[in-house]
Amino acid sequence: MGSKQSNSAGRRRPKKGSGIWRWTLWLLVWVVAMGLGFTVGQHIQLGKAAQQYSNLQTEFDVTVAQLRYDMSQLVAQKEALQSQLSVERSTRRSLESSLQRAQSDLAKSGERLAFYDQLLPPGPSGSVSIRALTIQPNGTFLAYRVLLTRNAQPGSEFNGHVEFVANAEKNGESVKITLSPATGQAMEGTTASDNAVSSFPVSFDQFQRLEGLLTMPEGVTLTSVTLNIIEGGAVRVSRSVNLPNSEAPSESNEPS
């Protein structure tokens, strides 16, 4: 009976050892499966991270390119604005210079106007005065300079004539001679065709300057010259200038 018990005990022991082995094997399989699962999971996560990094890198590159383009546009706009500002500054300087010149010219015109206002003679409106008269011998001619002024508003013209009459001595007698302009000489405000006559037409509103050459008659000695300002056939004003002993050359008919 004792031998039966020992035999049955001997048959049960192998069954207990095989169960432990199976559990150990299943545990190893589970550990390996878990390791493989973790590895596969890590690989999948790394792939997703790499894709996300690639996407972020692409977005970053696109953003950088857009920023560079925007920067180039801003630089171009800055250069255009600087160029426009430079042009506007140059234009402003030119306008300021033109304005200064205009103001200077205006000031000079005002000074001239004040000067001519002082020259205007007192008296009734429209009266004419001879403010200056010089007559000097110039070779075989007489050179004259005249300044006429008139007490009138701008726009109302005086229309008359200028006449030079000389007091002279010829063969011991006193004579009066109306002087004519030298050939080819024209008084300011006249034309060449006007020089064929002894009086010169003149038109002005407030002042007029005249200058030119007069022909000296032959064989006479001039003592003085009178300037007559004529309007409507009447002498409005006159002024005389004494001359040094001016004797015009006479022609000689003697053979040479």
Question: pLDDT tens digits for 203-249?
Answer: 888 888 999 999 888 888 889 999 999 998 899 999 999 987 655 44
Task: Give pLDDT tens digits for 149-187.
Answer: 887 776 778 899 999 999 999 888 899 999 988 865 444
In the predicted model, is pLDDT for residue 121 greater than 70?
A: no
The Cα–Cα gap between 168 and 243 comes to 10
List of E strands, 48-157: 128-138, 141-150
**End-to-end Cα distance, the chain:** 204
Mean pLDDT score of the chain: 78
Q: What are the structure tokens assigned to 10, written together? A: 């001997």
Q: How far is the C-alpha of 159 from the C-alpha of 152, rounded, in Å? A: 13
- Predicted pLDDT of residue 194: 41
Structure tokens at 109: 């015109």
Residue 139 tokens read as: 């070779």
Strand partners, 225: 166, 241
Going by C-beta distance under 8 Å and a sequence separation of 6 or more, which residues neighbour residue 219?
Answer: 170, 248, 250, 251
Separation CA 170–CA 147 (nearest Å): 31
CA distances (Å), 79 to each of 66, 135, 155, in order? Answer: 20, 69, 55
Comparing C-alpha atoms, which of 175, 182, 180, 183 is closest to residue 222? 175
**Res 11 pLDDT > 60:** no
Give CA angle at 187 (182, 190), nearest 5°. Answer: 120
* Confidence bin at 134 (pLDDT 50/70/90): very high
The reported pTM is: 0.47
CATH architecture of 128-247: Sandwich (2.60)
